[in-house]
Amino acid sequence: MKSKFNLATVEPDSAAVFSIALSLWEICEKQSRETGFNISECYNGMDQFMREVMRIANQFEDWACRHINFDEYAEVWAYDLGDNFGKACLSILSLSCLMEFSENDCLRVAFELKLPVIACGNLPVPIDLTACNSVPAAGFCKFRIQTVRDSLQNNEPTPFVAGDEPFDENFSNFYFSLYGIESEGILEHIADRRTYEQVLDLAQKIAPAIAFPASPTFTTKCEH
The reply to whether 167 and 199 lie within a common domain is: yes
111 in the same domain as 21 = yes
Please determine, for residue 137, whether its predicted confidence score (pLDDT) is greater than 80. Answer: no
| Cα separation, 216 vs 5, whole angstroms | 17
Read off the pLDDT band of 51 (50, 70, 90): very high
Residue 224 lies in a domain: no
**Spatial separation of the C-alpha atoms in residues 26 and 188, rounded to whole Å:** 51
Of the chain, the percentage scoring pLDDT greater than 90 comes to 84
Across all residues in the chain, what is the average pLDDT?
A: 91
CB 224 within 8 A of CB 117: no
Task: Give the total number of structural domains in the chain.
Answer: 2
**Alpha helices per DSSP H over 8-167:** 14-35, 39-42, 46-67, 77-92, 103-112
- What is the C-alpha separation between 194 and 124, in angstroms, rounded? 12
This prediction has a pTM of 0.86
What's residue 2's pLDDT?
Answer: 42
- Model confidence at 138, pLDDT cuts 50, 70, 90, reads confident
Pair 111, 132 in one domain? no
The answer to whether residues 140 and 160 belong to one domain is: yes
pLDDT over 70 at 3, yes or no: no
Burial grade of 101 (CB within 10 A; 0-12, 13-18, 19 or more): buried
- Give a yes or no: residue 63 inside a domain: yes
87 and 44, same structural domain?
yes
Residues 133, 56, single domain; the answer is: no
pLDDT of residue 120: 85
In a domain, 154, yes or no: yes
How many residues make up the chain in this entry? 224
223 part of a folded domain:
no
Q: Are residues 156 and 104 part of one domain?
A: no
Q: Is residue 1 part of a domain?
A: no
Q: How far apart are CA 126 and CA 218, in angstroms?
A: 7
Instruction: Assess whether 165 and 90 both reside in one domain.
Output: no
Final residue belonging to a domain, choices 67, 82, 116: 116
Domain end position, chosen among 116, 140, 160: 116
- Give me the residues paired with residue 178 across strands: 145, 191
Given 82, 116, 150, which residue is the final one in a domain?
116
For residue 197, the enclosing domain spans 128-218
Domain contains 42: yes
Percent of the chain with pLDDT over 70: 94
**Each residue's pLDDT tens digit, 178-221:** 999 998 889 999 999 999 999 999 999 999 989 999 889 987 65
Q: What is the pLDDT of residue 6?
A: 40
Whole-angstrom distance, CA of residue 119 vs CA of residue 223: 11
As a whole number of angstroms, the distance between CA 189 and CA 181 comes to 9
| Judgement on whether residues 29 and 96 belong to the same structural domain of the protein | yes
pLDDT at 221 (0 to 100): 57
For residues 221 and 102, the model is more confident at 102
Please tell me the predicted confidence (pLDDT) of residue 9: 60
91 and 60 in one domain? yes
Give CB contacts under 8 A, 24+ apart, made by 35-39.
37/95, 37/96, 39/95
